[in-house]
Structure 1
């Protein structure tokens, strides 16, 4: 896991993040997506590949970074 990826403890609902999409057929080639966290799916503090979240748009993915406000 990348050292730069935020931990579960650092994330909150409503926070703006950039994710790598996991629920699309072309997820491997897709560009990172920005949005606000609606739900955090990961239970543990650290997750291989990043914490899994669902954005308000319904897209799920692993958090790559927090978007500065």
Structure 2
């Protein structure tokens, strides 16, 4: 994994990650959320804001980091 945010290739369905929300009214002020990836939504291999994913909980956001097991 890179020193910055993980790339699309480094992420897999079911992987535990920490995201910054993108689908909440208060997303700018919201704390990062941890959860397991249900879907990888980004088409690009890398994105400056982080790869966009949907968690199993239905929350979408950009991946900040992978959560160590």
What is the TM-score with the length of structure 2 in the denominator? 0.94
* Aligned Cα root-mean-square deviation (Å): 0.7
User: For the residues of structure 2 that align with 1:64 and 1:30, how far apart are their CA atoms?
Assistant: 13
Measured against aligned partners, the alpha-carbon deviations of 1:19-57 in whole angstroms (never above 9, x if no partner) come to 000000000000000000000000111112000000000
What is the TM-score with the length of structure 1 in the denominator? 0.94
Q: Give the length in aligned residue pairs.
A: 67
Q: Provide structure 1 residue ranges, at least 5 long, that are not aligned to the other structure.
A: none
Where in structure 1 do 4 or more consecutive aligned residues deviate above 4 Å? none
Aligned partner of 2:11 in structure 1 is: 11
